[in-house]
Amino acid sequence: MNVHASDTDGPSQADLSSNLNDYLAAIVESSDDAIITKNLDGIIQTWNPGAERLFGYAASEAVGQPILMLIPEDRQHEEVDIISRLRRGERIKHFETLRRRKDGKLVPISLTISPVKNSNGEIIGASKIARDITHLVDAAERQNLLLTEMRHRVGNCFAVAGSLISVNARQAETASELASLMRERLSALSDAHRLAVTDPSGKSAGSTSLRNLIISVVEPFAGDHLYELDVEDMHIAPDAVTPIALVFYELCTNAAKYGALSQGGGGLLVAARRNGERFRIDWREQCCLDPHATQKEGFGTQMCDSVVKASLGGVVTRRFEVSGMTATMDLDLKILEAQ
Q: What is the DSSP string of 153-164?
A: HHHHHHHHHHHH
297-321 pLDDT, tens digit per residue, is 676 687 788 888 888 999 999 999 8
pLDDT at residue 331 in the model? 96
Round to whole Å and give the CA distance between 216 and 239: 18
Q: What are phi and psi of 108, to 5 degrees?
A: -75, 135
Query: Which amino acid is located at 305 in the chain?
Result: D
- Write down the pLDDT at residue 87: 87
Contact by Cβ (8 Å): 86, 124: no
- pLDDT band for position 130 (50/70/90)? very high
Q: Among residues of the chain, what percentage have pLDDT more than 90?
A: 35
H or E element at residue 208: strand 208-209
C-alpha atoms less than 13 angstroms from C-alpha of 321 in its C-beta half-sphere: 8
Q: What is the mean pLDDT of residues 71-91?
A: 89
In angstroms, the CA 275 to CA 136 distance is: 41
Q: What residues pair up with 204 in beta bridges, in sequence order? A: none
**What is the widest separation between alpha-carbon atoms in the chain?**
119
What type of residue sits at position 298? Answer: G
> Which amino acid belongs to residue 172?
A
Single out the residue of 226, 227, 224, 225 nearest to residue 171, CA to CA.
Answer: 224
- Given a cut of 80, whether residue 150 has pLDDT beyond it is no
The proportion of the chain whose per-residue pLDDT surpasses 70, expressed as a percent, equals: 76
Mean pLDDT calculated for residue range 128-150: 82
Q: Is 329 exposed, middle or buried (0-12, 13-18, 19+ CB in 10 A)?
A: buried
Q: How far apart are CA 234 and CA 248, in angstroms?
A: 16
Q: Residue 220, class by beta-carbon neighbours within 10 Å (0-12 exposed, 13-18 middle, 19+ buried)?
A: buried
- pLDDT of the residue at 9: 56
Instruction: With a cut of 80, say whether residue 159 has pLDDT above it.
Output: no
Q: What is the pLDDT of residue 333?
A: 95
Give tens-digit pLDDT for 217-270.
888 778 777 789 999 999 998 878 878 887 888 888 788 888 888 887 788 999
Which DSSP string do the residues of 111-166 spell out, in sequence order? EEEEEEE-TTS-EEEEEEEEEE-HHHHHHHHHHHHHHHHHHHHHHHHHHHHHHHHH
Whole-prediction pTM value?
Answer: 0.50
Q: What is the pLDDT of residue 185?
A: 67
Instruction: Report which listed range, 18-22, 76-80, 188-192, is most confident.
Output: 76-80
Q: Which of the residue ranges 27-36, 128-137, 158-167, 249-258 would you say has the lowest mean pLDDT?
A: 158-167
pLDDT category at 73 given cuts 50, 70, 90 is very high
Sort strands 208-209 and 34-39 into parallel, antiparallel or unpaired: unpaired
Q: How far is CA 18 from the centre of its chain?
A: 49
The whole-angstrom separation of Cα 299 and Cα 255 is 16
